[in-house]
Amino acid sequence: MAAPLICPSILASDFARLGEEVAALEAAGADWIHVDVMDGHFVPNITLGPDIVKAIRPHTTLPFDVHLMVAPVDPWLEAYRDAGADILTVHPESGPHLHRTLGRIRQLGAKAGVVLNPGTPLSILEEVVDLVDLVLLMSVNPGFGGQAFIETTLRKIEKTRAILDAAGSKANLQVDGGVTSANAGACVAAGADALVAGSFVFKGGPSAYASNIQALKTAA
């Protein structure tokens, strides 16, 4: 089994050094850069606007995996794509027409992803599975970092993998929230092939990033 993609969330990084942080993550062996965008409305926090994403884009060649926790989300798709997003991932709850939103992301030339919160049913995915390049399962309720992994997510990963396989989908299955070396293996065994990790990757500072990323890949 191939090692999962490791997608460090810069929500846990040093915001005063974002350019240096993303460069250090690439040097440490990260696969994608996960960018958590929060609007203070859809979720109880405010983070990174498109101008900040644009500013850090030149500091790495890694794909930017932009998770939009924004409502309404449609007005922001083009701005984040123009800022350098390679993948735009949206919540079904963040707009009235998920099918149209995913189609618009693809029209903009980005990969389209759908995010399912712990309480969001998988039946939504079945209706749009042909339009997604990424399915992101939240293993915490979104809004802030440092939360504990919700164990029932493992069963949801299994069910999601079954839906993707039945549809013949090549979409990545990503897990985000409380991911550590202690649960990375269980996530991958259940069917995940991409792991978002914030606090675990960034602990110890830049000199520890490579060993932390390797610990996740080894555990998986």
Active-site annotation, residues: 36, 176
SS3 (DSSP) at 171: coil
Determine phi and psi for 13, rounding to 5 degrees. Answer: -85, 180
Question: SS3 string of 67-100?
Answer: EEECCCCHHHHHHHHHHCCCEEEECHHHCCCHHH
Q: How many whole angstroms separate alpha carbon 28 and alpha carbon 59?
A: 14
Tracing tokens 């090692």 back to the chain, one arrives at 3
